[in-house]
Amino acid sequence: MSKEHILAALSEAHTALEALMKNEDALSAVDRAAGVFADCIEAGGRIYSCGNGGSLCDAMHFAEEMTGRYRSDRRPYGATAISDVSHMACVGNDYGYEDVFSRWVEGFGRKGDVLLAISTSGTSKNILKAVRAAKACGMTVVGMTGREGSPLALESDVAIVTPAGRWADRVQELHIKCIHIMIELVERRLDPQNYANE
């Protein structure tokens, strides 16, 4: 193990976080996305989330924090990650992996619902297909990516574009920070009693 490499990795992560903190467009998008999520929950809608690899883990993390709890007890918020193994295996086998998320959206998505679509590159074909399926049924799309001008950034109603850096892991580290912040903002609006003693 090399302390030099550990410190270099932490320094790179620190630089990426500082870049996000200075990115007014990204900060504004985080705020707008939290508002979209809160509006959806208040109206009785559902939020679906999707991603590939580490981004799927982030999509699942988002959903479990919404239905479970974040920091303090409160009511569950309706959110589901598109991560059912039998669904993904079935659709992947019968149609192809490009359809694993869009088929779910077509089956469950309703007007007024929200799709949180996560792709570090912003070019994942199955994510983009899900985005188009969501829009076709009247859902709002919040996209999270690390690439300005990517198809996901351009096709999302709200696009959170974090500073990319060289590698996807740095993008994902910023994504999870944004996810936690958005959940906090939703709670502050819908369950302000959790923050009454600040």
User: Torsion angle, CA of 180/187/147/121, rounded to 10 degrees?
Assistant: 70
Confidence of residue 9 (pLDDT cuts 50, 70, 90): confident
β-bridge mates for residue 149, sequence order: none
Q: Choose among 194, 186, 198, 188: nearest CA to 41.
A: 186
The answer on pLDDT for 82 being more than 90 is: yes
pLDDT of residue 31: 98
Confidence of residue 115 (pLDDT cuts 50, 70, 90): very high
CA–CA distance, 55 with 123 (Å, rounded to integer): 13
Q: What is the 3-state secondary structure (H, E, C) of 142-197?
A: EEEECCCCCHHHHHCCEEEECCCCCCHHHHHHHHHHHHHHHHHHHHHHHCHHHHCC
Q: Choose among 186, 194, 160: nearest CA to 42.
A: 186
pLDDT of residue 164: 66
Average of per-residue pLDDT across 172-178? 95
Class for the domain spanning 3-191: alpha beta
Q: Report pTM.
A: 0.95
